[in-house]
Structure 1
């Protein structure tokens, strides 16, 4: 096997494997928290939903991409391509939207109650989480509906113009107009949500700066201190997403300017667009005290079980 292909395959394998493991751990930890607590906080519910979206992204794009790099062909037929591409597009869209939602909700949580309207809104955040989830699902399912119609299994021969060659599937837009319209719709949605998340994160940073200047007064309230710690986690996630979003869209804009996209360019975009889904769960785990406590407890219980079994066997003898 060629060295370049080996490096690319190992990179995708590590990225996909670590990402799936990290997101599954986050979902399992939040599942345990949900069983132990009467109600999850809005930020916890959003982070759990974000981990689910990122897990689906890696399963629908990272797994088939890795298999294709290692030489597996004809993984999917036309119907399979439509399902996988649609699942990937929706999960990728949900990833950016949920990160934006996380930033906006946290900005509202830490914002000082300047008036009765804001106070009412902060009190209703628990009630707004589920309707917002449903709205984001419906929005992105509608925006991404075009991709399945253009998705086909790879054919023998050359790749037609205005086709995104994903290796395991082709997205053939037939002409330049549909190619550009689809790209503009997806990019417009992404830029709108990224702009909103950056604005809300900038507001959080301003509040964090004020918090650092008034730390003695704020420490009197444990809840406020916890909210500020969560706010720092949210800002880190937004910065992480913004970095990879920028790289992803630089490559995407280049792809919109050429009729025939080189395979190496498509692979680079796949890798960088999946980096957030891989790294974000580890940011959540490292910065979220609640998740770390659940994982430490689970690890201790796992270690204690073999010890109990050995003691029981000794007593039986």
Structure 2
């Protein structure tokens, strides 16, 4: 085993260990709250959905990559490789849509009484669980197309490109163009990210305006960081910026690797590490 592979394995073990412990502890708290008879808040259902998606993302992507760096290469058969990639993409997309749903629910919650969003405050909690289920069903269907473009090696031809993932290798025909790849895989995610950015900007605007309106009732010697609206603004900024940053970098690397058939060990290691960053730190942000 090479020294660099051993160091990468240690880095991934630390990252996955922190992420699994954090998400498992957060999920345990929600389950304990439910079992003790306490009623979960509507927003807790979204957090539970996000936590489950993050756990699956770490398991389906982080663990195979760690095993690869520990020296076991190409240990997944084609069917297992397809299944791992499919489940990872579903979990990753549900994580994004759950974060988007969380931002949307925050917009409805803090909207003023004279806003158009105010009418949804009563109805929104009733649609949270169906919305979470819809996210899973939608991305299970959308990402099912991935199974169609990953062909068995016995059907290889000169017009077929390889995706080397380390722990396995998958194939796709050149006829599967980049534009179709964007429409199927990236367009729904881009829509979610655009809405999340808009929702976060709207939340910041509402909280800033509220802070300006109630500023005269705060004690003059209290630090701005202690104001609840300032803390909520920082939390919204942190959650949105964290996901948008990691997702954007990972998507750019993934698209370049697909379009230009780029394979570099350091580049792919960076891509895998960035893909697992948000699921690992999300419970601590929450």
> Shorter-normalised TM-score: what interval?
0.7 to 0.9
8 Å contact from structure 1 (residues 96, 190) kept in 2: yes
Match of 2:253 among 251, 258, 277: 251
SS across alignment from 2:276: helix
Answer with 1 or 2: which has the greater Rg: 1
d(CA) in 1 for partners of 2:233, 2:37: 21
Pairing 1:211-250 to 2, within 5 Å after superposition: 211-215=210-214, 232-250=234-252
* Displacement after TM superposition at 1:185 (Å): 2.2
d(CA) in 1 for partners of 2:217, 2:128: 27
8 Å contact from structure 1 (residues 58, 274) kept in 2: yes
Pairing 1:102-251 to 2, within 5 Å after superposition: 102-114=102-114, 118-151=117-150, 162-178=161-177, 181-215=180-214, 232-251=234-253
Partner of 1:274: 276
SS across alignment from 2:244: helix
CA-to-aligned-CA distance 1:215-255 (integer Å, 9 cap, x gap): 35898xxxxx8788556434321111011112112212322
* Displacement after TM superposition at 1:176 (Å): 4.6
SS across alignment from 2:176: helix
8 Å contact from structure 2 (residues 50, 98) kept in 1: yes
Pairing 1:28-67 to 2, within 5 Å after superposition: 28-36=28-36, 38-67=38-67
Query: TM-score, normalising length from structure 2?
Result: 0.86
d(CA) in 2 for partners of 1:249, 1:150: 19
CA-to-aligned-CA distance 1:122-157 (integer Å, 9 cap, x gap): 1112101011112211211121012233447899xx
SS across alignment from 1:271: helix
8 Å contact from structure 1 (residues 151, 170) kept in 2: no
d(CA) in 1 for partners of 2:33, 2:4: 43
1:23 aligns with 2:28: no
d(CA) in 2 for partners of 1:263, 1:120: 52
* Displacement after TM superposition at 1:194 (Å): 0.4
SS across alignment from 1:214: helix
d(CA) in 1 for partners of 2:262, 2:179: 13
8 Å contact from structure 2 (residues 73, 168) kept in 1: no
Deviates more, 1:268-277 or 1:34-43: 34-43
Deviates more, 1:47-56 or 1:146-155: 146-155
* Displacement after TM superposition at 1:70 (Å): 0.9
SS across alignment from 1:123: coil
Partner of 1:313: none
Q: Aligned in 2, Cα 1:275/1:58: closer, same or farther, shift over 3 Å?
A: same
Query: Could you say what the CA RMSD is over the residues aligned between the two structures, in angstroms?
Result: 2.7
1:99 aligns with 2:99: yes
d(CA) in 2 for partners of 1:272, 1:102: 22
* Displacement after TM superposition at 1:78 (Å): 2.4
* Displacement after TM superposition at 1:107 (Å): 0.8
Partner of 2:224: none
Q: Mind listing any 5+ residue stretches in structure 1 that lack a counterpart?
A: 220-224, 285-317
8 Å contact from structure 1 (residues 107, 203) kept in 2: yes
8 Å contact from structure 2 (residues 256, 262) kept in 1: no
Deviates more, 1:52-61 or 1:30-39: 30-39
Partner of 2:285: 283
SS across alignment from 2:114: coil
SS across alignment from 1:39: coil
* Displacement after TM superposition at 1:2 (Å): 2.3
* Displacement after TM superposition at 1:4 (Å): 1.8
d(CA) in 1 for partners of 2:45, 2:110: 17
* Displacement after TM superposition at 1:166 (Å): 1.3
